[in-house]
Amino acid sequence: VFIPASLLNNEWTSFQWQIVPAEAWLSVLYLIVMGSLAGYSAYVWLLSVRPVTQVSTHVYVNPLVAVLLGVLFAGEHMSGLQVLGLGVILVSVLLINLSKYRQRKINAGGSAVKQDEIELAVDRKVVVCGDSV
């Protein structure tokens, strides 16, 4: 959005390319390659080999990893509130996955409910065992 807007306003004519340090260009290149292309490709590949419920948890854990890497490698500092938030997110992801794990274990243990009959979202309705709720 910003690039087309700047092109329409002719802002690029006053931009001085030579004053941007090489380190900044390398940082942008790294973000494009690793942050976008490699990250998205890994996410799509993971969706093809693992269940969506497992892959989706990375959305919650990814910012935590980024913050911890910043603390470990970039000398950033975490406030007490950030540490508390980190703990809340980790416990939440653990509880969500623990309940899913227990549900799979119950279903695998001889329950009458089949895995594909548990919940199926169709046109904003939840279908449970063939009946719409």
> How far is the C-alpha of 108 from the C-alpha of 80, rounded, in Å?
42
Local confidence band at 49 (pLDDT 50, 70, 90 cut-offs): very high
Q: Are 117 and 111 in contact (CB under 8 A)?
A: no
Question: With 50 as the cut, is the pLDDT of residue 131 above it?
Answer: no
pLDDT digit string (tens) for 58-81?
A: 777 788 888 888 999 989 999 999
Q: What Cα–Cα distance (Å) separates residue 6 from each residue in 2, 12, 15?
A: 6, 7, 10
Q: Are 92 and 83 in contact (CB under 8 A)?
A: no
pTM of the model: 0.48
> How far is the C-alpha of 10 from the C-alpha of 16, rounded, in Å?
13
SS3 category, 51: coil
pLDDT value at position 12? 82
Q: What backbone phi and psi angles, to 5 degrees, belong to 130?
A: 85, -10
pLDDT digit string (tens) for 8-42?
A: 998 888 888 899 999 999 999 988 888 788 888 88
pLDDT value at position 1? 83
SS3 category, 131: strand
What are 62's two structure tokens?
Answer: 């990814």
> How far is the C-alpha of 101 from the C-alpha of 112, rounded, in Å?
17
